[in-house]
Structure 1
């Protein structure tokens, strides 16, 4: 009987201890209702939806998008966790571009990111009640995406991917190092406003050095190589602007430049990495990252797009591709290399 009573007392003591442990675990764990700290944080995290409109796929625009998403991630807005991205690519088609903007306008988004001038134009016209950030836009003023760079107004702001000084510096570099260049051939889509703006600027800068600019217009990507071939015998070098249609078909120009030993200058780093010889520019990933930081300010800090100054690329450098130089019959001199401020990053071997 005593043994039985002792056993009952032991079991009672054990049950009381277990109950106390269970009570302690529930009350001492961070968060309400006994949830873990991570679960509590997840339940407090806002979920964002961002629509992206991109006019076409090519390295510069893709890098812009990647930089934008990276800036969001660094600020804690992570795709698949608390961010849903609705990515739309118009494949260079204006009808698709308009349809995408109309679809986005009818959706529920926290922010819209427009990549390149045609996409930004369409989105600016269609989306009126959601914050819009643009990037890879050459001249947001002349294209009437915004009416003021310091105070854009409305629901839109962004980052311009050009600095007129870049064209000036490239023209100076060509004139100083290539005295035999008298005419430069420009393959161009004249229906793209940003390409026209840059072409006019380039023509003015080349003219200061008595260098002529001869245009070869295209209406689609498949015509780019043929346009380059049409310039053979009439020009001493090739040049392209931030022209989305032409950049999409730039392999054709690179092939002609290499086959005919014609120096090829571009307006963006990615085209130089791909096979052009030189530009004055920057990394488009960094450009997209800058736009992404603006988006973070809007989403997390409550800033109003219309009150945010349109940013511009201030840090410019000469970028050279030595392999392309060899392919195009160019002798790269010490003076050329000395003109590069950051040779480790901007002289491509």
Structure 2
């Protein structure tokens, strides 16, 4: 009797194994991970914008998304901006990452359907990118690169440490974000005793001459987050070091290039937050309409001690406690 039971058991086991081993395609499910196509564009390549792009990529990688990027720089040529996004539209990308105000404007002109996520934009409403911070519009949203208090605090720093100074600034009047910032600088200067000397440029090759002519008037340089000037910041740094003129800048990455001080933000951080938004959109959790435009996180004082020494800045001991220090690269 036991032998018959053993034989029946063996037959049952082999039958089960045979059934499990048969592969008719119905017993297994293969789930291929989706690969998303992202067109990434910025007006020019410089440290701040590059860090924002790296932050954007890092966020999507940490979310576990498979992404293929088509990165295109406009090489600081406005004529290249819209054609780049036109090509993204023709290629049928899933999302456009627009890293700067001109790039975001070009993307919005190219499509009202493909989601656009922007960062490194100073004044999204003023530039006509969004209807409002809370209600950005049909297919666009993102993260600004200017904290509401950044310019005010920077001007207060200048007034406190360089009283009655003339501030020399160079910017591209063709960049809407720069015009908005200069207006904010002027507003912040009211009642401080500071004065402003301006030079405008159309391209990076004009920056050195503009800074040189300003040197005879300026007690302090202040370079805002103007893409044209920041891409040629070394020209301003050279003049500042030669003439012992403290160089205030608009963001910490410019300190690594030789600026002295700023109240600023981390561009990697705003790029990362934009990447988190992109992940929500790509996976269908949200649409651009569901995500308000965001300001960057809180700001703080950053100082480059080496630049301070090279630019003849008299050290204030309170900065040792107040500032985060950045070194020249």
TM-score by length of 2: 0.90
For residue 198 of structure 1, report the CA deviation from its aligned partner: 0.2
Name 1:214's counterpart in structure 2.
Answer: 197
- From 300, 304, 307, the equivalent of 1:324 is 307
* Larger proportion of helix: 1
2:26 matched to 1:49? Answer: no
Which ranges in structure 2 are unaligned for 5 or more consecutive residues?
A: 1-10
Measure, in 1, the Cα distance between the counterparts of 2:19 and 2:189: 79
Indicate conservation of the 8 Å contact 2:173/2:179, yes or no.
yes
Q: Does 1:168 align with 2:152?
A: yes
Deviation of 1:32 (Å) = 6.7
Larger radius of gyration: 1
1-structure distance, mates of 2:202, 2:26 = 62
Q: 1:337 to 1:206 in 2, by over 3 A?
A: farther
- Return the offset for 1:206: 2.0
Contact in 1 for aligned 2:82/2:109 (Cα 8 Å): no
Distance 1:337 1:215, change over 3 A: same
Q: Check whether the contact 1:26–1:33 (CA below 8 A) recurs between aligned residues.
A: no
Q: Which residue of the partner structure matches residue 64 of structure 1?
A: 52
Instruction: Flag the 1:26–1:265 CA change in 2: closer, same or farther, 3 A.
Output: farther
Aligned to 1:256: 239
- Answering whether residue 114 of structure 2 is matched by residue 136 of structure 1, we say no
Provide the rounded CA distance (Å) in 1 between the counterparts of 2:38 and 2:17. 44
The whole-number CA distance in structure 1 between the counterparts of 2:19 and 2:191 is 81
TM-score when normalising by structure 1: 0.85
Q: 1:76 aligned to 2:75?
A: no
The answer for the alignment partner of 1:294 in structure 2 is 277
CA pair 25-225 structure 1, distance change in 2 beyond 3 A: farther
Quickly say closer, same or farther: Cα 1:148–1:283, change in 2 above 3 A.
Answer: same
Aligned length: 316
RMSD after superposition: 2.2
Q: Report the counterpart of residue 159 of structure 1 in structure 2.
A: 143
Q: 1:190 aligns with which of 173, 198, 210?
A: 173
Partner deviation per Cα, 1:221-278 (whole Å, 9 max, x = no partner): 0111111001111110111111000100000000110111100001111001211000
Provide the rounded CA distance (Å) in 1 between the counterparts of 2:125 and 2:40: 22
Matches of 1:91 and 1:32, distance apart in 2: 53
8 Å Cα contact 1:153/1:307 also seen in 2: no
Q: Distance in 1 between matches of 2:18 and 2:233?
A: 69
Asked if structure 2 preserves the Cα contact closer than 8 Å seen for 1:135 and 1:159, the reply is yes
